[in-house]
Amino acid sequence: MCILGIESSCDETAAAVVDKEMRILSSVIASQVDVHRQYGGVVPELASRMHSEAITPVVEKAVHQAGIAVTDLQGVAATRGPGLVGALLVGFNFAKAFAWARELPLAGVNHLEAHIHSLFLTDCAPDFPFIALVVSGGHTNIYHVSAENRFELMGQTRDDAAGEAFDKVAKMLGLGYPGGPAIEEMANTQNINDIRFPRSLLEKGSFDFSFSGLKSAVARHILENPVKDDADKARVASAFQAAVIDVLCEKLIGAAKFRNCRQIGISGGVSANQTFVAALTGRTAKKNIRVFAPPLSLCGDNAAMVAARGAVMIRDGQTCGLDHDVFSRVLT
Ligand code: KG4
Ligand code: ZN
């Protein structure tokens, strides 16, 4: 079974083909980051327009690179939400038309579940059950995943997502957009740890997150101690990153203990942060907990993860019709 995946929830237009063994036959990503960088963040209207321009060539390229004919496809999967509505509509409506014209089943994929499925696209995937973290520019969610189709939300951010905090702190430090890679790179240039920002762990036993206090603490620190050079920026970047990583590790290990799980899988843009991966791996090793992370190419938004999630949905008959719409946020 070959599934075509389509992703357009934010600022990447992506298409991929994945086969039934979860092998990636192709994965094409047209990033809009260079355009949005000029504005310091994603401009939704521009994102939709650029998705419209890119979607046809990106899908054609994905099918071509997979070395298959369109008639070899057995299903179409596209991100239905959460994300920017105008952006989602481009990919999802394209997928609807594509599936209808070829009489193929269509899966409307939850972007967060797709991120979790990026963990199944490698030779070394976690077994069920495991604790999953989806940590990106829009979300910081912890799930207990007991089967391919069973995601129980254990906690989420009450304000900013971790990636959003990285982006905002990078802006404060004049490091540009997207902030995550810039902060990590800056933080790696030094090893003086003379600043300590607060870690918000919320109530005991809660697996929720809050990063807005940390963001304000960084803003206050910069106001009181203006950054004069790259060394100052690096000290702030490193202290901020350490605080985020500490909280993520603490909550993940707590969730694993609470559910008696020996495996943690992280996914989403922030899981590309190698300092985080190393810290989590180090802290869990003594506790006999294994950490799984996607390869760098699958940490950020991509369509292979959408195809992987869609393959399971189509297999289980969880398909949708032409009357289904996109959604901007998950209703709880
Ligand atoms: O998953 P993703 O590509 O898109 C969303 O679904 O949001 O995640 C993007 C987020 C951005 O906030 C970006 O700054 C962050 O992931 N990010 C990182 C790193 N690379 C990307 N954050 C920390 N360290 C990184 N190396
Ligand atoms: Zn994402």
Ligand 1 atom closest to 300 (CA): 3
For residue 71, give Cα distances in angstroms to 21, 57, 103, 177, 260: 19, 18, 10, 40, 45
DSSP state of 49: H
Cα dihedral 59/15/74/21 (nearest 10): 140
Task: Supply the residue whose CA is at minimum distance from atom 8 of ligand 1.
Answer: 269
Give ion ligand 2 contacts, CB < 5 A: 136, 301
pLDDT digits (tens, 9 = 90+) for 197-235: 999 999 999 999 999 999 999 999 999 999 999 999 999
Q: Name the residue of 27, 166, 245, 329 whose CB sits within 8 Å of the most ligand 1 atoms, as the mutation to test its pocket.
A: 166
- Give the CATH fold of the 126-293 domain: Nucleotidyltransferase; domain 5 (3.30.420)
* Residue 7 buriedness (CB in 10 A; 0-12 / 13-18 / 19+): buried
pLDDT of residue 68: 97
Q: Which atom of ligand 1 is nearest to the CA of 276?
A: 24
Structure tokens at 108: 């409307």
Mean pLDDT of 297-319: 97
pLDDT of 132 > 90? The answer is yes
181 lines ligand 1 (CB under 6 A): yes
Nearest by Cα to 79 from 316, 265, 332, 330: 330
What is the per-residue pLDDT for 114? Answer: 98
Q: pLDDT tier at 134 (50, 70, 90 boundaries)? A: very high
Which of 136, 160, 168, 211 has most ligand 1 atoms within 8 Å of its beta carbon, as the pocket-test mutant? Answer: 136
Radius of gyration of the chain (CA): 20
**Distance between CA atoms of residues 114 and 36, nearest Å:** 24
Work out the average pLDDT over 292-315: 97
Fold (topology level) of 2-116+299-315: Nucleotidyltransferase; domain 5 (3.30.420)
On the question of pLDDT at 332 being above 80, the answer is no
**How far is the C-alpha of 326 from the C-alpha of 99, rounded, in Å?**
16
What's the confidence (pLDDT) of residue 331? 61
pLDDT in tens, 100-126: 999 999 999 999 999 999 999 999 999
Label residue 17 by pLDDT band (50, 70, 90).
very high
**Range 36-45 average pLDDT:** 93
Q: What does the block give as tokens for 279? A: 């810290």
- The residue whose CA is least distant from atom 22 of ligand 1 is 180
CB of 300 within 6 A of ligand 1: the answer is yes
Q: What proportion of the chain, given as a percentage, has pLDDT over 70?
A: 99
Report DSSP state, residue 128: S
Q: Where are the beta strands (DSSP E) in 82-207?
A: 106-110, 130-135, 140-147, 150-156
Residue 293 CB less than 6 A away from ligand 1: no
Task: Judge residue 45's burial from the number of C-beta atoms within 10 Å of its C-beta, 0-12 exposed, 13-18 middle, 19 or more buried.
Answer: exposed
Parallel, antiparallel or unpaired: strands 263-267 and 130-135: parallel
Predicted confidence (pLDDT) at residue 190 exceeds the cutoff of 90:
no
Share the mean pLDDT of the chain.
Answer: 96
Which atom of ligand 1 is found nearest the CA of 170? 14
Do residues 308 and 22 make contact, with C-beta atoms less than 8 angstroms apart?
Answer: yes
For atom 23 of ligand 1, the residue with the nearest CA is: 180
Atom number in ligand 1 closest to CA 163? 12
Distance CA 58, CA 27 (A): 9
> Is the confidence at residue 143, as pLDDT, over 90?
yes
46-83 pLDDT per residue, tens: 999 999 999 999 999 999 999 999 999 999 999 999 99
- DSSP category for residue 66: H
At residue 154 the predicted structure's pLDDT band, cuts being 50, 70 and 90, is very high
Angle at 2 between CA 75 and CA 313, to 5 degrees: 50
- Structural domain spans, the chain: 2-116+299-315, 126-293
- Predicted confidence band of residue 193 (pLDDT cuts 50, 70, 90): confident
pLDDT at 1: 84
Give the ligand whose atoms come closest to the C-alpha of residue 163. 1
Q: Is the CB of 83 under 6 A from ligand 1?
A: no
Protein residue whose Cα sits closest to atom 19 of ligand 1: 180
Nearest of 110, 157, 31 to residue 324 by alpha carbon: 110
Q: Is pLDDT of 23 > 80?
A: yes
Q: How many CA atoms lie within 13 A of 20 on its CB side?
A: 7
Whether 211 and 160 have beta carbons less than 8 Å apart is answered as yes
- 41 CB under 6 A from ligand 1? no
- Token pair, residue 111, equals 């972007």
294-to-18, 126, 254, 277 alpha-carbon distances in Å: 16, 11, 22, 11
Q: What is the pTM of this model?
A: 0.96
Instruction: Tell me the CA–centroid distance for residue 134 and ligand 1, in Å.
Output: 11
Find the 274 Cα to ligand 1 centroid distance in Å. Answer: 12
pLDDT of amino acid 330: 81
